[in-house]
Copies of this chain bind each other. A is one copy, B any other.
Amino acid sequence: MLRCIVHATIPRYLRVYGSLKAQVESGDFKLGDFLPAEPELQKLFNVSRTTVRRAVELLAQEGFVSIQQGKGTEVLDFKATQRLQYVSSFSETLQEKGFNVRYRDLVAECTPAPRRIAADLKLEPDARVVRVQRVILANGKPIAIIWNYLLPEIVPGIERRIAGMKTLYAFLESEYNLRIEAATDYISAKAAGAEEAARLEVPVESPLLVVKRITYSRGRTIEVAILHVVADKYEYCVQSKDRPPRAT
């Protein structure tokens, strides 16, 4: 039936959203300009006001525009305020910044979970987990030590398959069909101990950024990662918006 073709239809609010976003990104609307008012957009796209508003709200959520009651909807400097906070992998981030990323001392093994890790994974204290350990090098220089603790039942046989891994998240997605849905990072700092200092090639007591990441997939906690990062070589970036709505 011909209808099947038409069937793959994109919601109108997404089309309006995409069209506006493209014009903002291409510079048709410039920084400080105001978008056409809502009644105008209704006519332009031939949709209802509800649909227009939904599209514009999406743009605002992503930081492309700022909606101001009584004034209008202003186009922002999207390079400065862009994007919600999405899950990103450490090595992918480095690669995007143009570094050549390699691993050293990659080890994967099944071990009893340390107590804190077991608690984060919601396992009994002595449950076994898969531990992946590595030193990450950016342009040949060590930049972080990473320990990943994974639930064994979701990554069977990982010890034998991990050799050529490029980034862990991509590996989990392609080999085990595991998509990371969400993550929480806890960030603190510490001074490097003797062994860490040696492996990271920095002086003892150098400040390190400590990141604990808990990742979720299919509604479950599936991984805890611990990163010790050389502080003067990496900056952790977080973008956030707005304030929580208040009720009551």
Using CB atoms and an 8 Å cutoff, list the residues of chain A in contact with chain B: 10, 14-15, 17-19, 21, 32, 58, 62-63, 66, 68, 74, 76-77, 80-82, 84-88, 179-191, 205-209, 216, 218-219, 221, 231-232, 234-248
Contact = CB atoms under 8 A, between A and B. Distances in A.
Contacts of A66: 181, 218-219
Contacts of A206: 191
B188 A239 contact: no
Q: How many copies does the complex hold?
A: 2
Given A17-B245, A245-B58, A187 B238 contact: yes
B189 A231 contact: yes
Main secondary structure of the interface of A (DSSP, over half): mixed
Contact of A241 (B32, B62, B182, B242): B182
A210 B14 CA distance: 38
A95 to B, nearest CB: 15
